[in-house]
Chains A and B, each alone.
Chain A
Amino acid sequence: MSGINTNSKSGRNDIAIIQSCLSCGETSARRLSKSLMSRSYAHRDIIAHMGDPCTHLFLVAEGAVVAELFGIDGQQAQLTRHGPGEVFGAYPEESTFRSAFSANGATRLLAVPTTKLAELVSSDVELAAGIANLMARQLDLLLDRMAARIGLSATGRFYRALLQLADGNGTIRPAPVLAAMAVSVHTTRETASRALAVLFRRGIVERQEDALKIVSRRMLEELIV
């Protein structure tokens, strides 16, 4: 595993995704990126079979991954689904896949070897805190799913994240990397892009040279549903 090319546009996007999902600085994200590999799958591609050795932790960057179990009678049952910004696989130790995993729609994963990640986490406080936060958020998501709890819609989560990034004057500087922000609020780049386009169209947010400016905080708050 040679790491992602951080000089390419997609590589820079991946660095931004790591920063956004782990709430860490660029230095830590670049350190992790050296051990990261981007893997793409077509709809319904098998990612792993049940019982396969699991030696990586995977972050869903695009698309979704479905975990399926086969019962004694051969019936297939969906165990869970991981969308953008969620992790699955092995951590802190290597293990085996407890179910089959397949791609749901065109899917891209960022994979890091479990042993390497554990090593990095033991020496980088930002990465350690980031992984802990990521796992805690995912536990919350899991509990939400068990309870079928109502939460914000995907656009609502995106708008809330925009508000959280803004300073007291409503400025977000530098302007966020959309793909990264989308992953951190568990949605697709397309959904985030459409949601932002609505704000520009209505004049609720303005583009500035290297920043976004929230023109009407009240109108943005009203869209958080």
Chain B
Amino acid sequence: MQADALKKILALARAGATSRAWEAFKAAGFDRADADANALTLKGRLLKDQARNAPSHLRPALFALAGEAYEHAAKPGSETYPLINAAAMSLHAGESERSAELAARVLHLIESGQEQGETPYWGEATRAEALLLLGRIEDAKASLAHAVSLAPQAWEDHAATLRQFALILSELGGNDDWLDRFRPAPAMHFNGILGITSDDKAASNAIAAEVRLIAPGFAYGALAAGADIRAAEAAVLVGAELHIVLPSDPHDFRKSSVEPLGGDWAQRFDSLLEIADTLTICDKAESTSAAGVALAELYAMGLAIERASQLQAQAVALRIEPAERPILGDPWLHSGYPIRHVAVSASTASVVPQLPAGALTFDIATDDAIEKFASLGEAVAALRNAGSVRMAIDCRLGETVHVQALLPHSAHGMVAASRSAALGLLASGLASRIETIGELAFPDGPVELCLAKLSEPPG
């Protein structure tokens, strides 16, 4: 039970609800749990978050308190993790001698073999951090390179180290450009027109060239015949993970958006599905519609931005369309991440299938009302205007409304959102962070639940 409570508080902290997480921590009495290593570690994390958000004159004291909590959390056999954090907190608190003392202790524990770290990566990365805190920058660089070589694809762990190193380097006044070589390749969202013939070499070469320039590590999008399939193929060729998001069951989507375009698109669709790293289907119950396609686009954009943010990588959108096509309606424009274009022309011989319109509805719930909107922007504006303590948002293609059940899971300033709505918020720049907190069971299937921190409104 205690572990569950700590985990819920950690989820709040990860979602950016710093004050709310601290209130929950205190309300559960964990701030007085002086002998519980897990509670003390979390206390350190929460105080560190508070320090980062505090006015500059309050920061040193909060960092010092965070350091104390981490130091108390250290226990024989698992000392390096809390102690390296305590060392970093001491540095931020202005106690450089104490920081060096703790970093030296960590270095000794690792190099003497008394502790090896929780995983091979963390053992070496912790050593690198200790070296950095001791001002041995070149040794720290070599040690971090070694750590990354031990688990080259542990991107989430690399990201945590990069964040920590950037903070330490900013405190030490050092250049942090060298960290960039440890960042993973960008997360790319691809999207483009149908109607390119399957043997259009010029389009194929142009798309492949742009994808090589972006050099994505992760590619997100749908697989409609034409630009999407070509972009996905190009991404696979440069070694990217392929994450497919379809609006409907693959069988339906193939029939509506691939087969009618003829050529060898259907076989290429099947081949890509076969090798995709993940396949997400937005709504299996619904047939492919224009509204479903819009939802799948939002979902895939949100996934790309979420991945980039989790891994400290870049996010980039690839748009493949006629040069004269206006892009003002692209939600990605509001995300703050770059868009790269490839200009192509649709073949006049291609018959682009017309999809049924469908309806994408955004439901919001506050303490006073449940309302529905046809656009995400309007739904978020209504949430902001409501000024409610609790807020929830969902989006749907069908008739079943779930948003009211999401509302009790909202926290102060945080919106309870279904994963699809949360990813839409992220894609449109309407949320700065989202964090998954579990799954809600409904008769028509489970809905993954997130907490979303809304971005500050423009102006």
Contact = CB atoms under 8 A, between A and B. Distances in A.
Contact of A145 (B3, B156, B279, B442): B442
A151 B121 contact: no
A27 interface: no
A155 to B, nearest CB: 9
Given A148-B402, A149-B441, A78 B285 contact: yes
B278 A194 contact: yes
A104 B449 contact: no
Contacts of B7: 222, 224-225
Contacts of B448: 153
A148 B438 contact: no
A141 B441 CA distance: 8
B200 to A, nearest CB: 31
B32 to A, nearest CB: 23
A81 B444 contact: yes
B405 interface: yes
B400 interface: yes
Contact of B439 (A44, A151, A190, A201): A151
B75 interface: no
Nearest to A149: B441
Chain A to chain B: the 10 pairs with minimum beta-carbon distance, closest first: A148-B405, A203-B119, A216-B118, A144-B441, A202-B154, A145-B441, A150-B438, A43-B249, A201-B153, A153-B439
B31 interface: no
Given A78-B400, A215-B119, A104 B285 contact: yes
B154 A150 contact: no
A202 B160 CA distance: 12
B438 A202 contact: no
Interface string A145-175: 1101111111010000000000000000000
A216 B123 CA distance: 12
A151 B436 CA distance: 11
Contacts of B439: 150-154, 156
A27 B439 CA distance: 35
Interface in A190-204: 190, 194, 201-204
Given A105-B249, A151-B439, A215-B118, 15 more contacts: A44-B249, A66-B444, A78-B285, A80-B443, A81-B444, A83-B446, A105-B284, A106-B251, A190-B278, A194-B277, A201-B153, A201-B154, A202-B119, A203-B154, A216-B122
A202 B157 contact: yes
Given A78-B443, A225-B7, A203 B121 contact: yes
Nearest to B402: A148
28 contacts: A42-B251, A43-B284, A44-B249, A78-B400, A78-B443, A80-B444, A105-B281, A105-B284, A106-B251, A141-B441, A145-B441, A145-B442, A145-B443, A148-B440, A149-B440, A149-B441, A150-B409, A150-B449, A151-B438, A152-B438, A152-B439, A190-B279, A202-B121, A202-B156, A203-B150, A216-B122, A222-B10, A225-B437
A218 interface: yes
B252 interface: yes
A78 B444 contact: yes
A93 interface: no
Nearest to A66: B285
Contacts of B249: 43-44, 105
Interface residues of B, number: 41
Contacts of A153: 436, 438-439, 448
B118 A219 contact: yes
A157 B10 CA distance: 18
B69 interface: no
Interface string A202-225: 111000000000011011011011
A46 interface: no
A79 B437 CA distance: 27
A83 B402 CA distance: 19
A219 B443 contact: no
A104 B7 CA distance: 33
A64 interface: yes
B11 interface: yes
A108 to B, nearest CB: 15
Contacts of B402: 148
A43 B251 contact: yes
Contacts of A81: 443-445
Interface in A97-153: 104-106, 141, 144-146, 148-153
A223 B297 CA distance: 27
A204 B121 CA distance: 10
A64 B284 CA distance: 10
B297 to A, nearest CB: 21
Given A43-B284, A80-B443, A203 B120 contact: yes
Interface in A48-107: 64, 66, 78-81, 83, 104-106
A202 B151 contact: yes
Interface in B107-125: 118-122
A105 B11 CA distance: 32
A141 B438 CA distance: 15
A144 B405 CA distance: 12
Contacts of B3: 221
A114 B249 CA distance: 32
Nearest to B406: A148
Nearest to A104: B284
Contacts of B279: 190
Contacts of B281: 105
Interface string A27-46: 00000000000000011100
